[in-house]
């Protein structure tokens, strides 16, 4: 097939993507800060991508780059200038990589972006690729700026770019809020979420890796922006019930007026976490379905089951 460079190859998404690309017959060069050995891959150390990186050794002989490395979204960011920090990694470093890739003769760059480029919540209709970007926070703005810069590089150099915007990614190895939710459900703690009537799009990490692999391979992906999701949106209470069912425990939910719950969270400095639990954020993945004939291989239930199996088996 082809030679693919994956940046951020040792991360949550990267490890699953490496395996998906190898299974599809691709050669994978795994780029990470320290060049950590990864099964089946040629590993290469690139150091801090926010610094000056000589990409030429990593790009030699590469057909396609999948750029996952990024400064991830941080709740309650204590950085004095969060936007500048996000820009150094998510914008400037991405542009440097794209220009180096074009100079090295790389044909295509697939960029993992975020649904936060579209916005933080949906009201009447799911987000689509045609909606004007409305990022709210520094992370979302940096991803939007990175997308724009990559399109400019593509116009100037002919490098094919593919942009993939993902919602919450879950699966084996997940961290942060989703991992905390698994722990709360396992311990049977009562959760005041029964009255929440939202809808949230998510994507299982294996489904995301499959979509990214399709974007590497499919000729019609060039120049496109795709929104990807499992395609089965859940309310927060439904997610808790599904996790509990896969764990074989009772979902302990009780109703608290959403306005009161939001106020309490805000007073405790957890307004952003509450918004993620209470607001709707859905997206329409029909464009990638039609353009690339892609469908998620696993259902939400299968993805949650795989996540719960990992959670139960992981070292404590």
Instruction: Give the residue numbers annotated as catalytic, written as ranges.
Output: 139
In contact, 5 and 46? CB cutoff 8 Å? no
Buried-state track 238-264, b at ≥16 Cβ within 10 A, e below 16: bbbbbbbbbbeeebebeebebeebbee
Q: Could you tell me which residues come within 8 angstroms of residue 192 by beta carbon, excluding any fewer than 6 positions away? A: 253, 254, 255, 256, 261
CA distances from 113 to 145, 233, 259 (A): 10, 20, 32
Please report where in the chains the tokens 């699966």 appear, as a residue. 171
- Residues 159 and 182: their CA atoms lie apart, in Å, by 41
Could you give the angle at the alpha carbon of 173 between the alpha carbons of 169 and 174, nearest 5°?
40
In contact, 292 and 214? CB cutoff 8 Å? yes
- Residues 310 and 304: their CA atoms lie apart, in Å, by 10
CA distances from 179 to 169, 253, 310, 316 (A): 11, 18, 11, 13
Residue 123 Cα to chain centre, angstroms: 22
In contact, 173 and 15? CB cutoff 8 Å? yes
- Residues 221 and 107: their CA atoms lie apart, in Å, by 12
Q: Which residues pair with 93 in a beta bridge?
A: none
């Amino acid at each position: 097939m082809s030679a693919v460079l994956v940046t951020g190859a040792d991360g949550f998404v990267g490890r699953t993507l490496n395996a998906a690309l190898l299974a599809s017959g691709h050669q994978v060069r795994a780029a990470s800060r320290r060049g950590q050995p990864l099964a089946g891959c040629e590993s290469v150390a690139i150091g801090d991508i926010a610094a000056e990186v000589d990409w030429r050794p990593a790009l030699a002989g590469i057909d396609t780059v999948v750029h996952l490395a990024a400064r991830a979204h941080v709740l309650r960011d204590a950085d004095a200038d969060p936007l500048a920090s996000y820009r150094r990694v998510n914008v400037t470093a991405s542009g440097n990589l794209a220009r180096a890739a074009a100079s090295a003769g790389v044909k295509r760059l697939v960029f993992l972006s975020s649904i936060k480029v579209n916005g933080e919540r949906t009201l009447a209709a799911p987000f689509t690729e045609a909606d004007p970007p409305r990022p709210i926070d520094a992370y979302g703005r940096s991803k939007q700026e990175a997308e724009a810069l990559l399109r400019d590089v593509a116009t100037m150099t002919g490098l094919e770019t593919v942009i993939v915007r993902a919602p919450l990614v879950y699966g084996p190895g997940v961290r942060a809020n989703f991992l905390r939710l698994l722990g709360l459900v396992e311990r049977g703690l009562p959760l005041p979420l029964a009255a929440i009537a939202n809808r949230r799009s998510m994507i299982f990490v294996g489904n995301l890796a499959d979509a990214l692999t399709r974007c590497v391979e499919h000729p019609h992906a060039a120049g496109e922006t795709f929104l990807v999701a499992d395609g089965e949106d859940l309310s927060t209470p439904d997610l808790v019930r599904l996790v509990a069912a896969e764990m074989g425990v009772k979902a302990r939910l009780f109703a608290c007026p959403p306005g009161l719950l939001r106020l309490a969270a805000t007073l405790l400095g957890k307004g952003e976490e509450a918004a993620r639990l209470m607001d709707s954020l859905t997206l329409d993945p029909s464009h990638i379905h039609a353009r690339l004939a892609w469908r998620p291989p696993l259902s939400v239930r299968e993805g949650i089951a795989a996540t719960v199996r990992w959670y139960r088996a992981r070292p404590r």
